[in-house]
Amino acid sequence: MTETNTPPPTDFIRDIIDEDNRTGRHDGRVATRFPPEPNGYIHIGHAKSVCLNFGIAVQYGGTCNLRMDDTDPEGESLEFVESIMSDIRWLGFDWEDRLFYASDYFEALYDFAWRLIEDGKAYVCNLTPDEMREYRGSFTEPGTESPGRSRSIEENLDLFSRMRAGEFADGAYTLRAKIDMASPNIVMRDPIMYRIKRAPHYRTGDEWVIYPMYDFAHGLSDALEGITHSICTLEFENNRPLYDWFVEQLIPGDRPQQIEFARLNVSYTVLSKRRLIELVTRGFVNGWDDPRMPTVAGMRRRGYTPAAIRNFAAAIGVAKNDNLVDAGLLESCVRDDLNETAHRAMAVLRPLKVVLDNYPEGRSEEFDCANHPQKPELGSRRVPFSRILYIEREDFEEIPPKKYKRLAPGKEVRLRNAYVIRFDRLVKDEKTGEILELHCTCDPETRNGPPADGRKVDGVIHWVSAEHAVPAEVRLYDRLFGIPDPAGEDYLDHLNPDSLQVLKGCFAERSLGEAAAGSRWQFERIGYFCADEKDSLPGKPVFNRIVPLRDTWSKIAARK
């Protein structure tokens, strides 16, 4: 990970760890883990958790495990495991040799369950899901004991081993913890530990027809790995006593400490895996790495940097209350990082032809242009110039508004890094009235400075030389949803119809022809762009817009 000089963050989780280290709880050890379920690609919310867990391990000289929480075969796959690993590495974190799978603990978990039955602390239950709901009681009513609760230990052991052996239909029995049907915390009312489910598992195949529930598996997996601080999101707060209960019964001693923090939500997007899966499978986006997706793979393809995502995670910190973070904050972290590192270049997205009538035909010259205006150490490149150029269509107005600083009748403008030019006349398509080309005069005295006679030229526009420019495709990505909080079930109704605009006839300056796949640039006056990892080829570049130069959405929001 890149070193920074910023002080380590402080938050209530780090306060707890500091206090533990002071009192000697966990013998001063700090062992965290990131436990994704491999049933989807990880997204910006997971990235926050990755930064938190791995960041804490780095800060305290501890360890952070990567554990695939793969106890529910449905939807889990190797593709997701691989994507998770590559995304975490890309974010800049390393689990070294500590990659674990909850499915590797299936046998150990079965033995733990067996022991609880032997100790009279678990039983096989034959209530249907509906009955179970009825027996559970409510916030105001205690639950009712299942008939299975009074089964003998021998019978429970026999039934449980036959559940494993596949003698019963899916759902015919469950294994439940015998805790307290009258507990005020409904989670503690004899929760299910195992269910029968005939579904092949991507790692264990058909070996198992019973699978442990998350609540049973999770805490014990943490304990088996010697985790000290088990950081999770708020929805597990009520499950903490259960987490503790299982560990106390089975692995007494120094127990992992569950700490909950608020889930990250980001405006103009959705982070629920179910919804992200729906966007992909129903084709609303082009796969998990679509640059509009809030997935790490999508953000990477879009051109976001790992540093920007880590800075964002640090900036939002961790909280105890759910909130919606402005997407503009993430974008501004991206902009701040790229402003430092991205090389500048010129590209014209909607070209308008300009002929410099006084510039000799067949002549060309090269300008030495700095790659970064404030960083000479980033070097320079040669940018060719000739008689025919392209400028941005919107940089010319036939009838300009007041104070217009770009090109217009009677006006002069500076071509960035090159000469001052004056507009003379234009050629229109006689039928449509469309402007086909501009004819201008170039002032040869202005190559290295302002006009000698003191004329003021305010505007600066970008350009490319037609003869030397590289044709490019540019994909203008925007926010996936048109409203800040697309949280309702009707979220698909709020997809932003303009979230992708493909521009085919763009021209990029010569040097961009060789833009490496994944390289990031500032196109002067336009925004930050990334050569697409998959589709960009030498001589045929394809660029994704990462972010515009300025936050245009905040203006829109302010106007509303």
The window from 33-41, 199-207, 332-340, 378-386 that contacts ligand ATP (CB under 6 A) reads 33-41
Residue 35 within binding range of ligand ATP, rule CB under 6 A: yes
Q: Tell me which residue of 212, 265, 197, 211 sits closest to 235, measured CA to CA.
A: 265
- Residue 532 has phi, psi (to 5 degrees) of -60, 130
Measured distance CA(483)–CA(523) in Å, rounded: 28
The window from 179-187, 267-275, 324-332, 444-452 that contacts ligand ATP (CB under 6 A) reads 267-275
Contacts of residue 490, Cβ cutoff 8 Å, sequence gap at least 6: none
**Smallest distance from the beta carbon of 204 to ligand ATP, in angstroms?**
19
Residue among 49 and 386 whose Cβ is closer to ligand ATP: 49
Q: How many residues of this chain bind ligand ATP (CB under 6 A)?
A: 15
> Would you call 225 a catalytic residue per the annotation?
no
**Smallest distance from the beta carbon of 495 to ligand ATP, in angstroms?**
19
* Number of other residues whose CB lies within 10 A of the CB of residue 413: 23
Residue 239 within binding range of ligand ATP, rule CB under 6 A: no
Residue among 35 and 303 whose Cβ is closer to ligand ATP: 35
Task: Burial-class residue 521 by CB neighbours within 10 Å (0-12, 13-18, 19+).
Answer: buried
Residue 273 within binding range of ligand ATP, rule CB under 6 A: yes
Measured distance CA(223)–CA(253) in Å, rounded: 10
* Number of other residues whose CB lies within 10 A of the CB of residue 399: 7
Measured distance CA(519)–CA(461) in Å, rounded: 24
Out of 29, 98, 263, 416, which residue is the one contacting ligand ATP (CB under 6 A)?
263
Out of 32, 49, 146, 386, which residue is the one contacting ligand ATP (CB under 6 A)?
49
Residue among 68 and 342 whose Cβ is closer to ligand ATP: 68
Let me know: does 461 contact 406? Beta carbons within 8 Å: yes
Residue 510 within binding range of ligand ATP, rule CB under 6 A: no
Let me know: does 72 contact 203? Beta carbons within 8 Å: no
Residue among 87 and 509 whose Cβ is closer to ligand ATP: 87
Q: Which of residues 126-165 bind ligand ATP (CB under 6 A)?
A: none
Let me know: does 63 contact 21? Beta carbons within 8 Å: no
> Would you call 37 a catalytic residue per the annotation?
yes
Measured distance CA(405)–CA(117) in Å, rounded: 81
User: Catalytic one among 263, 353, 381, 525?
Assistant: 263
Residue among 272 and 358 whose Cβ is closer to ligand ATP: 272
Residue among 244 and 424 whose Cβ is closer to ligand ATP: 244
Q: How far is CA 63 from CA 26, 90, 225, 308, in A?
A: 13, 18, 11, 24
Residue 272 within binding range of ligand ATP, rule CB under 6 A: yes
Residue number of the CB atom closest to ligand ATP: 45
**Smallest distance from the beta carbon of 270 to ligand ATP, in angstroms?**
10
**Smallest distance from the beta carbon of 458 to ligand ATP, in angstroms?**
47
Residue 278 within binding range of ligand ATP, rule CB under 6 A: no
Task: Burial-class residue 378 by CB neighbours within 10 Å (0-12, 13-18, 19+).
Answer: middle
Name the H helices within 119-229: 129-136, 153-165, 214-224
CA 212 to chain centre: 30
The window from 221-229, 269-277, 340-348, 501-509 that contacts ligand ATP (CB under 6 A) reads 269-277
Strands (E), 182-321: 192-196, 210-212, 229-233, 257-261, 264-266
Dmax (CA) for the chain in angstroms is 104
Measured distance CA(457)–CA(190) in Å, rounded: 79
Residue 531 within binding range of ligand ATP, rule CB under 6 A: no
Cα end-to-end distance, the chain, whole Å: 41
Out of 233, 286, 358, 496, which residue is the one contacting ligand ATP (CB under 6 A)?
233
- Write each residue from 57 to 76 as x if it is in contact with ligand ATP (CB under 6 A), else as -, in one continuous string: ------------x-------
Measured distance CA(337)–CA(85) in Å, rounded: 24
**Smallest distance from the beta carbon of 174 to ligand ATP, in angstroms?**
22
**Smallest distance from the beta carbon of 469 to ligand ATP, in angstroms?**
43
* Rg for the chain, CA atoms, rounded: 31
Residue 46 within binding range of ligand ATP, rule CB under 6 A: yes
> Would you call 445 a catalytic residue per the annotation?
no
Out of 30, 45, 295, 510, which residue is the one contacting ligand ATP (CB under 6 A)?
45
Helix and strand counts by DSSP (H, E) for the chain: 13, 27
Residue 33 within binding range of ligand ATP, rule CB under 6 A: no
Residue among 80 and 543 whose Cβ is closer to ligand ATP: 80
List contacts with ligand ATP (CB under 6 A): 35-37, 45-46, 48-49, 69, 232-233, 263-264, 271-273
Catalytic residues, by residue number, are: 37, 263, 273
